[in-house]
Amino acid sequence: MDTFISYASDIRRTAGRIKEYLDQFEFNCFLAHEDIQPQTVWPAEILRALKRCDLFLPLLTSGFIESFFCQQETGFAYCRGVEILPVMISREPMGMIANMQAVRFNGNEFDSSCWKIVKHVAKRGSLSEPVLDALVSWFGESHSYDIAAERAKKILNEFDFTPRQVKNIRRRIRRNSQIHETKEARDSIFRFIDKYGDYFDKGFRDWYDSKEASRRWMSY
């Protein structure tokens, strides 16, 4: 998936941080001040990025509203019929995007605000697959009990996964001891198993139960 972030120059640093957060989940964000090479003709490169993007993220601030270029970029994306998700930093959507569902962004709660964007896109059928794949990998790479529990609670029962993704999650639960040995993830994992019961046979359930029995024995 290719994402175009439209923003006013006065929030360049915030835009860069948003790009960094989203790119870990395969958003592949284009940001003009980072992604245009020296001596490149800026309008031409921006136009190419607008033509290939699947998702358009306007970062709404007073500077954005006043920017001629931001308004042009928004109009281009709108006319292309690209998926647009307005991000309300200090202003609400207006004009042609006024009635679109938006995400409210609080800079003091940066990670949770970025997560709102991820969650919204992961639930949009046309764009969800690469984001969900990235979330599955993110969960599978949990390197501590606490992180495994946090990520299990955050994703397993929040999204609708494809059969391929469910099988990948099943494989990662089995292979990563930080996931299958942590008590705090068990409720989320059992609810996930119940939801996708066709992909979890009795053998897997018995194996997962045995991990809990082993953990209880080791705690004595």
- The overall pTM is greater than 0.75: yes
How many CA atoms lie less than 13 Å away from 179 in the CB half-sphere? 23
Domain endpoint, select from 122, 149, 179: 122
Q: How many angstroms separate the CA atoms of 122 and 133, rounded? A: 10
pLDDT in tens, 3-46: 999 999 889 999 999 999 999 999 999 987 654 444 444 578 88
Instruction: Judge if 65 and 102 occupy the same domain.
Output: yes
Q: Strand ranges (DSSP E) for the chain?
A: 3-6, 29-30, 55-60, 83-84, 87-88, 103-104
Instruction: Judge if 163 and 194 occupy the same domain.
Output: yes
Closest Cα partner for 46 from 56, 61, 54, 36? Answer: 36
pLDDT of 169 reads 98
Place of tokens 């046309």: 126
pLDDT of 218 reads 40
Please name every residue paired with 183 in a beta bridge, in sequence order, or none if there are none.
none
Instruction: Judge if 98 and 207 occupy the same domain.
Output: no
Q: How many angstroms separate the CA atoms of 75 and 149, rounded? A: 42
Q: How many angstroms separate the CA atoms of 143 and 41, rounded? A: 44
Domain endpoint, select from 122, 147, 180: 122
Low pLDDT (below 50) residues in the chain: 35-41, 213-214, 216-220
pLDDT of 116 reads 97
pLDDT of 43 reads 77
Q: How many angstroms separate the CA atoms of 35 and 38, rounded? A: 10
Please name every residue paired with 3 in a beta bridge, in sequence order, or none if there are none.
29, 55
Domain endpoint, select from 89, 122, 155: 122
